[in-house]
A = this chain, B = another copy of it.
Amino acid sequence: MSDKGQAPKSRGKVTIFDVARESGVSYSTVSRVLNGFKYVKESTRQKVLEAAERLGYVANLQARSLAGGRSHIIGVLVPNLDNGYIGEIIRGIDEALRDNGYDLMLYTTHHQEGKESRYVQAIANGLTDGLILIVSLIPTAYLDALHKQRFPYVLIGQNDVEEASSIVDATNEKGAYEATRYLIELGHRRIGHITGLMGKSSAVSRLTGYKAALEAAGMAFDPQLVVKGNFWEQSGYTGTQTLLALPQPPTAIFTSNDLMAFGAYEAIRANGLDIPQDISIVGFDDIPQASLVHPKLTTVHQPLEQMGRAAVHILLEHIEKDSPPRRVTLATRLVIRDSCQPAAST
């Protein structure tokens, strides 16, 4: 047990300096090796690498990024963690990040207004190399700031931003169109729709898709059949109650997301009705719970994990190659399960 030189710093921290001494080269040469710099003699590289290994050297990220390097940390800003939706996206992000040697910093805003922009400021301030934003509302305020600083970022699920932002999204309108058309093909003539939060482009697109499908089928659009929701389960419940109280209630409901579909389930049961016997339901998102509820929910699948992955890929390109903004739209697809059936009478 020979302790060459002296014991590395107090709390067991081995610095680049220790490695330098151990391998007999300088400070910066170690840095070069560690950063994969090209012009280093192979034998030197080996010496350094071995010394680092022997000493159990681990880079200090803060020092590194303070000094102008990369922190290899990506910030992910999300409104909350309460819905399967976001969890799935994070999974995708997380995996892609690991694969590329980056770490994930999670920022939840809980929809608090000021918080989002404060975060973005702080985040962009140095710790993270880039940002992935899954925001609740149109974030023009800080998007602007990010843009001006030329700070790398990618948005997920918000396609109505005017600027040249990178965006990953799904085919919301098309998905809604197909969901509605499916219901029409089953013979339904009165199809209700519970919208999402209309401040989100996804909610708007889905409503548009719903209307388009009606029109394509030559069916009149009845404003009474559309009630405003906010993407939360509760609003699916109340929205469905409203729809059910109509003089001529719908025989099918398309909700703007799965969570609201679950709310609809409750409301329908509370009214002593059966799914899909009395009312058919189609959701949107295909979160994991969709196949666990009974009856299993027919819904529009969004490739959430894949969207997270795509966001990472674009972001890393921005960071590492300073590539221009890109918009990626991934395909949704209707997943038919057990919550729909042909309209009862004709």
Give me the interface of A with B, judged by CB distance under 8 Å: 11-13, 56, 58-63, 65-66, 71, 73, 81-82, 87, 90-91, 94, 98, 103-108, 110, 118, 121-122, 125-127, 145, 148-151, 262, 288-289, 292-295
A-B contact pairs, 20 of them (CB 8 A): A11-B150, A12-B145, A58-B125, A59-B125, A60-B66, A61-B122, A62-B63, A63-B126, A81-B90, A82-B91, A98-B108, A104-B105, A104-B106, A104-B107, A104-B108, A106-B106, A289-B289, A289-B292, A292-B292, A294-B295
Q: What is the distance, in angstroms, from A53's C-beta to the closest C-beta of chain B? A: 12
B71 touching A94, Cβ below 8 Å: no
Shortest Cβ distance from A97 into B: residue = B108
A105 touching B106, Cβ below 8 Å: yes
A62 touching B56, Cβ below 8 Å: no
Summarize A's interface: helix, strand, loop or mixed: mixed
Given A94-B81, A103-B105, A105-B103, are A62 and B66 neighbors across the interface (CB < 8 Å)? yes
Known interface pairs A61-B125, A293-B294; 11 further A-B residue pairs with C-beta atoms within 8 A, sorted by A's residue number: A11-B151, A12-B149, A62-B66, A66-B66, A73-B105, A81-B90, A81-B94, A94-B108, A104-B107, A105-B106, A288-B289
Contacts of A289 in B (CB 8 A): 288-289, 292
Contacts of A91 in B (CB 8 A): 81-82
Shortest Cβ distance from A71 into B: residue = B62
Complex alpha-carbon distance, A62 and B122, angstroms = 11
Given A81-B87, A121-B56, are A61 and B127 neighbors across the interface (CB < 8 Å)? yes
Complex alpha-carbon distance, A11 and B125, angstroms = 9
Given A63-B66, A82-B91, are A98 and B126 neighbors across the interface (CB < 8 Å)? no
State the copy count for this chain. 2
Which of A62, A73, A145 counts the most chain B CB atoms within 10 A?
A: A62
Shortest Cβ distance from A90 into B: residue = B81
Q: What is the distance, in angstroms, from A86's C-beta to the closest C-beta of chain B? A: 10
Given A81-B87, A91-B81, A107-B103, are A13 and B125 neighbors across the interface (CB < 8 Å)? yes
Complex alpha-carbon distance, A81 and B60, angstroms = 27
Complex alpha-carbon distance, A225 and B87, angstroms = 36
Complex alpha-carbon distance, A125 and B12, angstroms = 9
Name the one of B63, B104, B110 contacting A98, with C-beta atoms under 8 angstroms. B110
Complex alpha-carbon distance, A294 and B290, angstroms = 12
Complex alpha-carbon distance, A252 and B149, angstroms = 62
Q: What is the distance, in angstroms, from A201's C-beta to the closest C-beta of chain B? A: 26
Complex alpha-carbon distance, A145 and B121, angstroms = 35
Given A127-B62, A288-B289, are A94 and B121 neighbors across the interface (CB < 8 Å)? no
Complex alpha-carbon distance, A127 and B56, angstroms = 17
Contacts of A151 in B (CB 8 A): 11
Shortest Cβ distance from A80 into B: residue = B91
Contacts of A71 in B (CB 8 A): 62
Name the one of B58, B61, B62, B108 contacting A121, with C-beta atoms under 8 angstroms. B58
